[in-house]
Amino acid sequence: MYQRCSGLLLHVTSLPGPHGIGDLGDEAFAFARMLEHANQHIWQVLPLGPAGAGNSPYDSRSSFAGNPLMINLHELVRDGLLDPDDVPATTRFSRSTVEFGRVRNWKRKRLESAFERFQLGTNSPLHSEYEAFVSASGDWLNDFALYQALKDAHNSRPWYRWPYGIRRFDRDEVERWRRSVSRQIEYYRFEQFLFDLQWKRLKRYANSLGIAIMGDVPIYVALDSADVWGNQEQFLLDEDSRPSVQAGVPPDLFSADGQLWGNPVYDWDRMAADDYSWWRSRIARTFDLTDIVRVDHFRGFAAGWQVPAGASTARTGEWIPGPGRALFDSLAKHIGELPIIVEDLGVITPDVEALRDDLGYPGMKVLQFAFDRDPKNPYLPHNAVPVSMVYTGTHDNDTTSGWYQSLAEADRVYARRYARGRDETIHWDMLRLAWSSVSVLACAPVQDVIGLDGDARMNVPGIARGNWSWRLDSLDPLTRRAAALRDLTELYGRVNAPVAHAAGDVDD
C-alpha cells in the first residue's frame, strides 16, 4: 500500500500566528506550501480533539470533535461572521508558547460574537452548510454538544459527578436538560461546524499539493469525555459510573512501579457483540478528517495492562487480551482497507509483532532509541525493515539536539561515528540517516529540521504540567531549509505520495 516518501511532524497549535496559538489560517496554508516546496508528502499532526487535562491532545473531551482553539478568526471575518475590528492584527500573547488559559478566554468571546451574528442570518450559504454538517454528524455531535453544555451548567465538573439521572444518561432526564440548555448546545454545534469547515478547507488545499494529512488515534479515551459519558456500556465501569479497572503499563527498567494512566478500559466483549460499532464510527470520523492514521499504543489491541481502580501503583495489574485482529477485520469489512501506522515502541512481545505483521501495518523506528552501542539494536537504520516508518524523534522525545546533548560522551561518540556527523550538525545528520534508511516512510519533527534544542520539546511523558505549549514564532527558519530538505528527499528517492491512491480518497 505504501510508497517511499517522507514528511514532517508539526501539530496545528504549534504553528506561528498573532493570536497566541497555531490555527487553521494563513500560516497553516503557508506551511503546506513549504512542505510542497521541500517535496514532502506527509503532514503529521497530533489528535485534533478539544484538549482536556494538562491541555493534552491525548486527553480529549471527544474522539470525534475538533479543537475550537484551532479556529482562525480572520477566516470568520472573510465569512462575514466577524468585523475586521473584532480581530486585532497583533496581540500581547507569547509568540513562542501557547498560554492556553488566556487564549481560551480571549478566543471564546470572539466565537460567541460570531455565533450571535450567525443566528441573526438565515440565507447565508453558511447556514445550508451548517445544516448539512449537523445532519451528517449524527449522534456524536449531539452528544458532544450536550456534554459540553452540561459541563457549563455544572461548573465544569466531570460528568461522573453530575446528578444521578444525567450521569447515567437517563433518557427522560437527558431530554429535560437538552431543552433547558438548548442555546449552549447550539453554540457548541456551531463551534464544531466552524472547525470542520476550516479544517476541510485546509485539508483540501494540502491534498491539492500532493500532501496527505496523517492523524493520530490514542487507543484509550479520557474518562471525562463525551465518549465515555454517552457510551458507558462500552467501558468497564462500576454502578457509580467509575472505572472498575484502569489502563496503564507494568513495571519496567524505566519505572519500578509501572505507570497508572487512569483511562477507563473497554469492555471488549460488549464491543464485539455489536461488531465494534463505536470503534468503526471513531475510525470513520478520523479518516473523514485525515488521510493516514497513526494508532497509538498498538500493543493494547493484543493485550492491555489493567490495574484495579483503587491501586496506588501499576504493580498489581495483569495482561488482559484485547480484540486482536477481529477489530481490524471489522474496520476493513465496513470501511475498507485503511492506511494505518502503528506505534509499537517500548517492550513489545511476540504476539504484538505477530498482530502487526499479520495486518501488514508499518511499525515505528525512532533513531533516538538506536545508539546504545549495540550493532544489533533494532532501531539502527541497518537493522530496519522496509515496512516501517522511521523517525528522528516523536512528540514524546526530546528534540534531536536536546537528546544528543544529554547523552553520555561514549554514546555521543558512537552516534557521531555511525552518522558520520558532527556536534553542530547532528540534527541534520540524524535526519539524513532517517531519509536514507530502507523504511518506506520517514518523518521528523520540524524542530529537528532547524536544529532546535531541548527548550523546543513538545512533551515530557509522566509530567502533568508544562507540556504541549511549544510553537514556532515564524516559518522563516523552515523555509530556509526547504531546498536542502528537497535535495535530500530527491537524493534518497522519497518523492512519492505515501499511498497508492491520491490523498483524500478515503474521506470521499
- Residues with catalytic annotation? 296, 343, 396
**How far is the CA of 507 from the CAs of 130, 212, 237, 298, 362, in angstroms?**
19, 12, 34, 23, 21
The residues near 448 (Cβ < 8 Å, ≥ 6 apart) are 392, 393, 399, 400, 401, 427, 430, 431
Burial class (CB in 10 A: 0-12, 13-18, 19+), 424: exposed
Count of beta carbons in the 10 Å neighbourhood of residue 347:
11
Q: Burial level of 275, CB count in 10 A (0-12/13-18/19+)?
A: middle
C-alpha cell at 500: 497508492
Cα distance from N-terminal residue to C-terminal residue, the chain = 18
Query: If you compute the radius of gyration of the chain from its CA atoms, what whole number of angstroms results?
Result: 23
Distances from the Cα of 107 to the Cα of 81, 374, 473, angstroms: 14, 51, 19
> Comparing C-alpha atoms, which of 433, 349, 421, 423 is closest to residue 391?
433
Q: How far apart are CA 373 and CA 218, in angstroms?
A: 32
Q: Are 266 and 234 in contact (CB under 8 A)?
A: yes
Residue 434 identity? A
**What are residue 295's DSSP bridge partners?**
217, 342
Helix 182-208 crosses helix 171-180 at what angle (to 10 degrees)?
90
Residues 6+ apart with CB under 8 A from 409: none
- 95 contacts 14 by C-beta, under 8 angstroms: no
**β 363-366/388-391 pair status:** parallel
For residues 449 and 369, give the distance between their C-alpha atoms in angstroms, rounded to a whole number: 19
